[in-house]
Amino acid sequence: MTTASPLVDLRGITKTFLGVAANDSVDFDVRAGEVHALLGENGAGKSTLMNVLCGLYRPDEGRIFLSGEEVHFRTPRDAIAAGIDMVHQHFMLIPVQTVWENMILGQEDFGFILSKSAICRRIDELAGQYGLHVDPEAPVWQLSIGEQQRVAILRMLFREARVLVLDEPTAVLTPQEARQLFSTLRRMREEGHGVIFISHKLDEVAEISDRVTILRKGRKVGTVKTSGVGPEELAEMMIGSRVVPAVNKRAGGAGEAVFQARNISVLNDKDLQALHGLSLELRRGEILGLAGVDGNGQTELCEALVGLRPLVEGSLAFDGREMTGAPVRDFLSRDVRYIPADRRGTGLVPTMNLRENYALRHYWRDAFRKGPFMNWEAIAGQTGRIVERFDVVTPSLGVPVRMLSGGNLQKLMLARELDGDPRVVIAMQPTWGLDVGATAFVRERLLDVREKGAAILLVSEDLEELLALSDRLAVIHKGRIMGLLDDPRLATEEMLGLMMAGKPLASFGEGA
């Protein structure tokens, strides 16, 4: 790591929204040839600070220096032209356009005639080099969340930025993909790039970064060398108190099957078969974990289980009642709750406020109606209670949810779906983008609803999370279940990795 003057130097940055200071006189810099991690709780101001750096926001106060020269970014294009690029936690892609079209947005150096073949070749070269494979001609809306993440990372590499900002880049990557990304980051560091790395995974921060800056409630707590601190100290600096992130999993006994999928087959958005005769059952008071590399049918399975995606073959049953082809409202009325991975596109409506987003799931219930009209007073009261219980940081219940940080969006969605007494919970990546304290809180809430008798399907790419929470663990590969472990404690990471790559559990033999 070099000690030369910073590539980027932010001094005294202040940014407020609706009277709340997201950043309060924050100093931050990144040098050539280093990875500088940025840590903080959800809503601490990390993304806001980076949005100021990347030209999405203009600071209310403060100055930005690039290689010692003061700069003023009026638009993201100005920042990109200056060599600063960012992979946002929400990917900033145009869904109706293809991968290659998204790749060249905002660039002006392709001449009058675009060479699609040359662009696609370059994408393929980068994808092969960095292990981020994606179809250049696929429309973005047809891609899974993990595949969209790859596109966002590839676009930054495609633009050859000098300062690279990565906001939770590994949240939807497998451990193998994360290791490949880290190899890429190390190569960039050696080539003299400055990398800003935002993550809630403290082990990743310890592995990849040279320095760490911690924000708390919009203010800078301090900057330290990574080699001089441990994860516990970083967590304490983030939260302001000692954090015990261990999962307190209580012993439980699974009851009868309350939700059954029998030999179901479904198509994906490309009209290709995503699930092939898949069967599973969810039992009362049990968490069934589902492991797998993103894009192997997890999203299609979850959507089929809540009535959002029609079955080509097979059947669904709830409490012994046939639910195949039933409308989504029937699933909701039976307290089947869905926590999707895409909190902005599927889980919440960004332009609606907190009360309205809560009402989307509950507006027809008697408690929230006055005759033919909605009882907004009751809705506001209950929204306020769940926001307080889940510690959602917001200026008010009336602001559009797009004003919230990614972590607070996730907590709001979880609060809405876990409100009351759900009978079945389909949860995809429920701790994605959450800090260490919020992650522990969410895991405890899932265990709470399990203890109350809910049947839970937990889809996650965090093997540690699956092994800690699951009572049973299944592995999916290309739309088929590779095996079901009645005791997840017997699984090794190597075994699960092989199953995720397509090796059936039965092939491991009796001693596995």
Instruction: Dump the DSSP string for 26-60.
Output: EEEEE-TTEEEEEEE-TTSSHHHHHHHHTTSS--S
Q: Which two tokens stand for residue 9?
A: 């130097």
Task: Count CB-CB contacts under 10 A for residue 144.
Answer: 21
The answer to whether residues 37 and 158 belong to one domain is yes
The answer to whether residues 299 and 188 belong to one domain is no
Q: Is position 3 within any domain?
A: no
Q: What is the pLDDT of residue 2?
A: 46
Alpha-carbon gap, residue 207 to 226, rounded angstroms: 9
The answer to whether residues 402 and 480 belong to one domain is no
Last residue of a domain, one of 177, 205, 239: 239
Q: What is the pLDDT of residue 78?
A: 92
The answer to whether residues 146 and 18 belong to one domain is yes
Q: Is position 220 within any domain?
A: yes
Residues 6+ apart with CB under 8 A from 24: 14, 45, 218, 219
The CATH number of the domain holding residue 22 is 3.40.50.300
The answer to whether residues 117 and 212 belong to one domain is yes
Q: Is position 248 within any domain?
A: no
Q: What is the pLDDT of residue 253?
A: 66
pLDDT in tens, the chain (512 residues): 445 679 999 999 999 987 888 999 999 999 999 999 999 887 789 989 999 999 999 999 999 999 999 999 999 989 988 999 998 877 789 999 999 999 988 777 766 678 889 999 999 998 887 777 889 999 998 887 678 878 888 888 888 889 999 988 876 666 666 777 888 888 888 888 899 999 888 888 999 999 999 999 899 999 999 998 887 788 888 877 665 555 656 666 668 999 999 999 999 988 999 999 999 999 999 999 999 887 889 999 999 999 999 999 999 999 889 999 999 989 988 999 999 988 887 889 999 999 999 999 888 888 899 888 999 999 999 999 999 998 898 889 999 999 888 778 888 999 999 988 899 999 998 987 777 777 888 899 899 999 999 999 999 988 888 998 999 999 999 999 999 999 888 888 778 888 888 889 888 865 45
The answer to whether residues 106 and 66 belong to one domain is yes
Q: What is the pLDDT of residue 90?
A: 72
The answer to whether residues 107 and 148 belong to one domain is yes
Q: What is the pLDDT of residue 138?
A: 93
Last residue of a domain, one of 360, 389, 420: 420
Q: Which two tokens stand for residue 422?
A: 């759900």
The answer to whether residues 43 and 192 belong to one domain is yes
Q: Is position 35 within any domain?
A: yes
| Helix ranges, 426-511 (H) | 436-451, 463-469, 493-500
Q: Is position 342 within any domain?
A: no
Last residue of a domain, one of 239, 263, 297: 239
| Helix ranges, 111-230 (H) | 116-130, 145-159, 175-190, 202-208
Please tell me the pTM assigned to this model.
0.70
Alpha-carbon gap, residue 323 to 126, rounded angstroms: 45
Give the chain's domain count.
Answer: 3
> Do 489 and 461 touch, CB atoms closer than 8 A?
no
Alpha-carbon gap, residue 284 to 450, rounded angstroms: 8
The answer to whether residues 428 and 479 belong to one domain is yes
Domain that holds residue 386: 347-420
Q: Which two tokens stand for residue 502?
A: 């397509």
